[in-house]
Amino acid sequence: MASIRISRASASLVPLLLLVTACGSGGAPAQQTVAPASTPPAATSEAAAPTPAVTVTPERPTAAPAQRVDSGAVAEDAPALATGSGSAEVTYTRTGEFAVVIVLDCTACAAGTSPTVLTGPGLMSPYDEGPGPLAGSYLMDVFEGSAPEQSVWLQAEGPWSIRFESWNDIPATTGPQSGTGSVVLHLADQGTHAEVTWTPAGPGDGFSGRFFGQGDQLVFGNDEAFTEVVDVPMPGILAIRTDGAWTVTPQA
């Protein structure tokens, strides 16, 4: 998340500030000793040279990338798959009335000067972002009457794959579920409550949960570690957005 990257960037400045302070301390300057002309200076080993740090700026794409990859049609029991390398606009066409799940695998993506970001046109917040490798599943296109032609924007350095599938094709699960990072779960238990436990990945991390089941959509979240029992009339779909660790335990 952006706040995590800002925190890391600030921390990397501390050694530099300490170095400047030490050089600027009071007292007479140290006298330089000039080596005899017949003695050449020792060569500096390339291996000993410091490696410049890569500074990741919290920039997100504001327009579709130049590269366009069409994944084709998405239908029940027929997902669409797109693969590529580098930033791209990835399109698909939904054939049917269902919400679409994005499954991203960008684990081989490199940490560059810009973060890896999965977003789309008109979004105020991205589906996910990170300083390098990124993976997870995300729920989109949940509104009735939305256009069948949709797209996502991926800002990345390296190879990636994206699968688009119907949320009706998510494998059903029963009992406690645990994991790390963003995911879309199909809770097939028969119950009305679930205990949710969450631990943030670090400063700036947050938890956002959306549940679609019998009745109205439930939205809940926090930016501090928690254990809470939430009303989720199962079976249904639970979409979790986070970098941290979570556990969902269905209850009666």
Tell me the domains of the chain and their CATH numbers: 68-169 (2.60.120), 172-251 (2.60.120)
Which residues have CB under 8 Å from 30's CB, separation 6+? none
Which residues is 118 bridged to in the sheet?
128, 154
Smallest CA-to-CA distance from 164 within 250, 93, 231 is with 93
Smallest CA-to-CA distance from 2 within 116, 86, 84 is with 116
Cis (ω within 30 of 0) for the bond into 235? yes
Which residues is 246 bridged to in the sheet?
179, 198
Which residues is 137 bridged to in the sheet?
103
Looking at residue 142, its pLDDT comes to: 79
The H-assigned helical ranges of the chain are 2-12, 14-23
pLDDT tens profile 90-125: 999 999 999 999 999 999 999 888 899 999 998 889
Cα–Cα distance between 67 and 130 in angstroms, integer? Answer: 21
| 106 to 103, 110, 136, 163: CA distances (angstroms) | 10, 9, 9, 12
Q: Hey, which of 59-63, 139-143, 235-239 has the most confident mean pLDDT? A: 235-239
Looking at residue 239, its pLDDT comes to: 97
* Average pLDDT score over residue span 34-40: 34
How many residues appear in the chain?
A: 252
Which residues have CB under 8 Å from 39's CB, separation 6+? none
Confirm if 139 and 169 have CB atoms less than 8 A apart.
no
pLDDT tens profile 157-181: 999 999 999 999 999 999 999 999 9
Cβ-based burial of 227 (10 A; exposed 0-12, middle 13-18, buried ≥19): exposed
Which residues have CB under 8 Å from 111's CB, separation 6+? 54, 56, 131, 132, 133, 157
Q: What three-state secondary structure class fits 247?
A: strand
Q: What is the pTM of this model?
A: 0.75
Check whether 41 has a pLDDT greater than 70.
Answer: no
Q: Please give the DSSP secondary-structure letter assigned to residue 244.
A: S
88-94/68-74 β-pairing = parallel
For residues 38 and 73, the model is more confident at: 73
Three-class SS of 180-214: ECCEEEEECCCCCEEEEEEECCCCCCCEEEEEECC
Sheet with 116-119: strands ordered across: 68-74, 88-94, 149-155, 116-119, 128-130
